[in-house]
Chains A and B, each alone.
Chain A
Amino acid sequence: EDKVVQSPLSLVVHEGDTVTLNCSYEVTNFRSLLWYKQEKKAPTFLFMLTSSGIEKKSGRLSSILDKKELFSILNITATQTGDSAVYLCAVVLNTNAGKSTFGDGTTLTVKP
């Protein structure tokens, strides 16, 4: 059974802190790994990772994939209250439809 596990499940930090969110996976037919941010409603896309060791960066957020050890991390530096959200990791399978399996998410709360 395909599995995506995120840790920690929740995290509370103060503004300015740096956080690292983890995502490990066991799937039969890996194609890519995606990170999403979900605030009140629908998830919004952050990163797509397909190759090991290549960091993707967007502002204070960055992410990297390790296909040998089957995990990815999402880093957020200098956190702000607006970073408070649920961060979802999804692994896309190499099927015709590109089905995704989602992890349970990490709830990040950034306090002022």
Chain B
Amino acid sequence: GAVVSQHPSWVICKSGTSVKIECRSLDFQATTMFWYRQFPKQSLMLMATSNEGSKATYEQGVEKDKFLINHASLTLSTLTVTSAHPEDSSFYICSASRTSGSDEQYFGPGTRLTVT
């Protein structure tokens, strides 16, 4: 159990367009989901914490109007990169924690975003 999926796994878009990335917990309920960004050969940088039914909490330096997060249900959170620019190109990974309160996070396979 504890599978997290992300869709799409890879997306190319043009500058100025918006891209939506979905994160789903397939076999458990996740009150909290986390969105990370990872640059090549670097660690995971937390962007925001997404709580079901409430507004996301963004980390310092992350523009909430640019990276829109919606956590509409206990199994789905979405990240929308609005008006994408080439510098937004990165690997975006989501993770989810079980509602039972374990600190272990289950990671999705990631989404590679390339903005041309």
Contact = CB atoms under 8 A, between A and B. Distances in A.
Interface of A: 31-32, 34, 36, 41-45, 48, 88, 90, 92, 97-105, 107
19 contacts: A31-B103, A34-B105, A42-B93, A42-B95, A45-B106, A88-B44, A90-B44, A92-B103, A97-B32, A97-B49, A97-B51, A98-B103, A99-B49, A100-B46, A100-B103, A102-B44, A104-B43, A105-B43, A107-B41
Contacts, number: 55
Interface of B: 4, 32, 34, 41-46, 49, 51, 57, 93, 95, 97, 101-110
A43 B107 contact: yes
A79 B109 CA distance: 25
A102 B109 CA distance: 18
A45 B46 contact: no
Nearest to B112: A41
Identify which of B34, B95, B103, B108 gathers the most chain A CB atoms within 10 Å of its CB.
Answer: B103
**Chief secondary structure at chain A's binding surface:** strand
Contact of B104 (A31, A34, A42, A102): A34
B32 A42 contact: no
Nearest to A4: B43
A48 B46 CA distance: 19
A41 B4 CA distance: 13
B103 A34 contact: yes
